[in-house]
Structures are given as structure tokens and as C-alpha cells.
Structure 1
Amino acid sequence: MAETHRFAPRHEHVFLGADHDRHERRTWIVVGLTLVTMIVEIVAGTLFGSMALVADGWHMSTHAAALGIAGFAYSFARRHAHDRRFTFGTGKLGDLAAFASALVLMLAALFIAWESVIRLASPVAIGFNQALVVAVLGLGVNLASALILKEDHHGHGHAHGHEHGHSHGGRDRHDAHDHRHEDHGHPQALRRGADNNLRAAYLHVLADAFTSVLAIGALLGGSLYGWIWLDPAMGLIGALVIAHWSIGLIRRSGAVLLDAVPDAALVDAIKERMDAAGAEVADLHLWQVGPGHYGAIVSVVAVEAAAPAVYKAHLAALPQLAHLTVEVNAAA
């Protein structure tokens, strides 16, 4: 029996996050705030001869660059959301930016750790008053930035191995099966998902705020009690915490980029619904195509094979499946 195909009308693959535009605006606001602070510190440090202010100003420039990566990813993904060159849309561009930002964050942690070790071995004189002013100013800016980016930063992603379900109802009969595809996208009816790009931007400002808090504590201890070693010791602690955050972000964004199965519970739900429809899942591919948007290819085997639309109807209660393909095979 010849294979039968039914092709769905051409449709858009817009798999951006539910709050993509709002997240983009907030990210660029934080970039602007960081740039203004950077310029003020560099100019003030130059006028008043404070190397601490100048150094922190250039330090802020690295954060502006990292946050700029996040802002650019939002803008590029939005502008090219309808570009046919991107087969599954541009929803994963934010995860690519998050992965890059996580690497920058890791490099920052390594640099802080290296400088801290050097200063533990060879202590240097610290201008406590100037350094406290810089630390308090940096803390204020980063707390304000963190508040702007705070919403939805807590989304979690879980990475699991590729999973297959194999038919036990006999060998598929290749010359007598119904092999039909239906493929539709429903990007507007999805639940919210984790936005790793926003999380990366949030972690950058949170990391800077955290190091500012540690620095203020160390500077106060040094100025009051002469504990010069406290400053590099706090630097080491901060580096370890930032490295831990970076590794978590690398794992989350990397899992999305490698198309790891994003939700084991969703896999189980798909199998349960196919079982209720009288079919067994022979092969299942599930991956994330954007924040809160999943693509799936479901291959089922049934003794009495029905049209793909029948099985898709059983999956209609899972709106997070934004791009669904169903393949039906008649069992021997």
C-alpha cells in the first residue's frame, strides 16, 4: 500500500517567550543604567584622581557588554522571528546568549579568584574610604538592576536523556501502514517557560551585587580592625559562588542547545495519552524551541491505526507542544 501524506498549510514558527518584548525592554534599561554608571565613575575617578573609581568604571563596562549580549539576543530574535531561514524560529537564541554570558561569568569568577590568591600572598595597601564609596555605589546600581530584572528569573530547566518507547505488539509492516503527518504550531496558547537569557542577565547583576556586599564587609573589617586579609578572602568566596551560578546556567542553556529532553513529566503525559488512544509510542523526540515552547515528533504503532488528527486530539490538553508532528504506523 502506498504511503499517504497530508500536508498542513504553511504556518509561522514564532516561538518567543510569553514576555519577550517586556524582557527586552528591561534588559536594555539595565544596559543603559550600567553604561551611565560606568561613565560617571570613569569621569569622576579621572577628575578626582581616584584609581578605585576608574577601575570600577572599566569593570562596569564588562558587565555592560555581557548585558548587551542579552539585549542583542532579544532584539535579533524578535526581528528575525518570521525569517524562514530559521527552521524552528529564533526562540533558542536567548539560550545561546545565556550560554555565552555564563562563560563570561565563569571567566570573571576565575579572574577574581586569581587576583584574590595573589593578594593573599602579597597584601597591598587599600584606600578604604574610596573603595567603600565605590562598593556602595556599585551595590546601589546592581540592586536597582536586579529589581528591574527580577521577575521570572527563577524558571528552572531540567535536562534528561533521550528516550524511546519501543513497540511490543509485533514487527511493523512497512508495506501496509498509514504514514501520515500533521504539523501545526500554536505559539499563542502556551504556558510560560524559563527564559535563560533573562536569567543570565539577572545573574550578572546579582553576582556584582553579591561581590559588592562581600567587599563592603571586608573593607569595614579592614578599616576597623586592620584585617587586610579579609578582602581577598571574601574575593575567593565570591568567586566560588559566582562559578557555581555560572555552571548551573551553562547546564541549563547547554541542555536546550543540545535538544535534551526538557521535561520528563511531559514525556510520560504524552505516552499516557497515546496509550488511552489505543496506540503505543514507538519513538518520541521532545525538545525546546523557545521559552515555554516545545517541539515533538511522536511515532505511534496501533493495531487499528487512525488518522494523525485523532492522536493529536488526545494531545490537545498539552498546549506547551507548540510544534507537533504525529507519525502513525499500523502494527502487523
Structure 2
Amino acid sequence: MGRNESTRSHDGHGHGHDHGGDTTSSRKLAAVSLINVVGFVVELAGGLAFGSVALISDAVHMLFDALAYVMAFAAASIAEGYDNGERWSYGLHRLEPFAAFLNGLLLLPMVGFILWESYQRFLDPIAIGTGPTIAIAIGGLLVNVGSVVVLHGDAMSLNEKGAFYHLLGDAGGSIAVIVSVLAVEVTGIRAVDPITAALIAAVVAWSAITVLRGSGEIFFLKTPLESGEIRAHLTEIEGVDRVDDFHAWQICSQITVATVHVETGVETMAEAETVVSRVHDALDRHGVDHATVELSPRYADRDVHLDTHCH
């Protein structure tokens, strides 16, 4: 039996497949983006007008998520337009991690600004317009609740789930602003406002670093799978004698690609095709969306084979 190589897309990410679900997800993200941009403008204006740095911090938190949704929507829309292009092997789906990385990078200076303003306000606290600030914070909370309603469903996409949990965090930020303003009103300790702002900024910074790390892992081709577990699973397949080489990486957060070279002792093409199909099915169960399986005969002298075969 000669060398056998097979490539298969497993779940609709291959060329020519329907992206109706992605389009629906993009529309939801676009709606949430618009809602959050409006909320950001209102909270920022209110924070500047009524002297609450905590409200400004929450506005930046909302802006971060809004930018993430806008970039995800734009990246998905552009990627869909190039999904079947011959010049782009996997379309432009790499725009998703690029947009996420850019978003996280741009957020860090904003966090620095909030921390600096919080420090200045801590040293020299100013009076806060309690009533208007609470009203705006409640409005921000309603924005988050409305966004959650838009996204919530029986089957949310990965992007929608990410946005959903971010929105829960935003809601927590709005609640923190409300509590801090009430605390200032009751206790008279104005330092509560900048302390709350610094805490929200810390949460935003953690989110930004998480996004930077996640997108960086995609760019530097970190495998998203348990390679050892997959190798062990593949070697249990009837007809697979050895898993000689296995690599897996991500094009974006929703497309995982893998290549695997296995050795086999089968002798006919029909048997070889069966082995390849089983390997594809196993990779599919492990979350691989697009796989290339290379099948070759078992070598009696493996050292000679390795000297002549480039992995």
C-alpha cells in the first residue's frame, strides 16, 4: 500500500458551507454593540458631568465590551465574504483574533488613565451628584440586562457566550457604582468612589490581559487540544499501528485545524480508506473542524524512515 492522504472539513467550516448561524450571531452582536455604545456615551457624559470616576470607569468597561462586539461583528462579516476565496485558504477568519488582540491592547492605556484619575480623586475627593449618578448607573444596568435578553437563547454561539458573560460582569460594575454612590451619600467618605473605580479598572485590565493571552495563543499556534489524549485515542483505532506525528492549531476561536500522520499495517486501499475515515471521526469528536490525515505503511526499519521522511 502506498502513502494515503485525506483532508476533510468536519462541521461546516469548510468551503462552501452555510453560514446562516454565523450571520444570526453577527446580527445579535451588532445589536448588542449598538446598545452598549449608547450606554457608554451616556455613562461617560454622566461621569464627567457629575464627578464620578467610578461611573467613568464603568463606562470604559462598557466601551471595552462594545468594541469587542463591534470588532467581532466586523471580522465575522469580512471573513464570510472571503470564505470561498482561492487565495485565502481559510478565508479571513484570522481577523477575529487580530481584532481581539487590538482591542485588548488599546484598552490598557484607558485602564492606566482610570487608575491615575482614581489616584488623583483619592488624594483630592470631590462632591458627586448622587441622584443623577445613580440614575445613570441604573440606566447602564438596564443596558446590560437588555443586552443579555438579546443574546440569551437555547443555543448560543461561542462569541455569544463570551459576550453574555462579559455583560454579566458589566452588570456587576453598574451595581458597584450604585452601591459606591450610596455609600458616599450615607457615610460621607468620598474616597469610596475612586476606590470603586480602581477595582472596576482592575477587572477591565484582567479582561484585557485574558483577551491578549487568548488571541496571542492563536497567533503563536498553541494547540487547543490535549495532544496526548488524542494520540492515545487514535492508537486505539483498529488499523492504526502508530501515531507518528500530530499537530493542531486554531485559525480563530471557532475553527480548529489538525494534521496527523499515522502508520498502518493494512494492505488494501479499501482498508486504508476505512482507517482514514475512523481517524477523521475520532478527530471530529475531539473538536477538530478541519483535518488532514496522512496514512503510510508500517516501516520495519523506523530509523531509516525517519532519516528520509520530513515531518
TM range, smaller chain: 0.7 to 0.9
- C-alpha root-mean-square deviation of aligned residues, in Å? 3.9
Alpha carbons of structure 1 residues 260 and 249: separation in structure 2 relative to 1, 3 Å: same
Letter in 1 for 2:275: Y
Q: 1:165-180 maps to which residues of 2 (within 5 A)? A: none
Letter in 1 for 2:233: E
- Report what 1:298 is aligned to: 260
Q: CA deviation at 1:273?
A: 2.6
Q: CA deviation at 1:58?
A: 8.3
Alpha carbons of structure 1 residues 34 and 193: separation in structure 2 relative to 1, 3 Å: closer
SS of match in other structure, 2:72? helix
- Report what 2:33 is aligned to: 31
Q: CA deviation at 1:232?
A: 1.0
- Tell me, in whole angstroms, the C-alpha distance in 2 between the residues paired with 1:234 and 1:58: 13
| Mapped pair 1:233 → 2:195 | yes
Could you tell me which runs of 5 or more consecutive residues in structure 2 were left unpaired when the two chains were aligned.
301-311
Q: CA deviation at 1:131?
A: 1.5
Letter in 1 for 2:122: L
Q: What TM-score do the two structures reach when normalised by structure 1?
A: 0.70
Q: CA deviation at 1:306?
A: 6.1
Alpha carbons of structure 1 residues 226 and 58: separation in structure 2 relative to 1, 3 Å: closer
Alpha carbons of structure 1 residues 16 and 241: separation in structure 2 relative to 1, 3 Å: farther
- Tell me, in whole angstroms, the C-alpha distance in 2 between the residues paired with 1:5 and 1:278: 13
Q: CA deviation at 1:125?
A: 2.2
Q: Deviations over 1:119-144 (max 9, x none)?
A: 11221222222222221111211222
- Report what 1:251 is aligned to: 213
Q: Which moved more, 1:13-22 or 1:91-100?
A: 13-22
| Mapped pair 1:282 → 2:280 | no
Q: CA deviation at 1:278?
A: 3.4
Correspondent of 2:230 among 269, 274, 281: 269
Correspondent of 2:177 among 215, 238, 245: 215
Could you tell me which runs of 5 or more consecutive residues in structure 1 were left unpaired when the two chains were aligned.
153-191
Structure with the bigger percentage of helix: 2
- Tell me, in whole angstroms, the C-alpha distance in 1 between the residues paired with 2:20 and 2:173: 32
Letter in 2 for 1:273: L
**Contact kept? 2:134, 2:178, Cα under 8 Å:** yes
Q: Which moved more, 1:133-142 or 1:239-248?
A: 239-248
Q: 1:87-102 maps to which residues of 2 (within 5 A)? A: 87-102=89-104
SS of match in other structure, 2:240? coil
- Report what 1:312 is aligned to: 276
Q: Which moved more, 1:229-238 or 1:12-21?
A: 12-21
SS of match in other structure, 1:326? strand
Q: CA deviation at 1:216?
A: 0.8
Alpha carbons of structure 1 residues 242 and 30: separation in structure 2 relative to 1, 3 Å: same
Letter in 2 for 1:215: V
- Tell me, in whole angstroms, the C-alpha distance in 1 between the residues paired with 2:17 and 2:211: 21
- Tell me, in whole angstroms, the C-alpha distance in 2 between the residues paired with 1:143 and 1:96: 28
Q: How many pairs does the alignment contain?
A: 285
- Tell me, in whole angstroms, the C-alpha distance in 2 between the residues paired with 1:252 and 1:17: 24
Q: CA deviation at 1:25?
A: 0.9
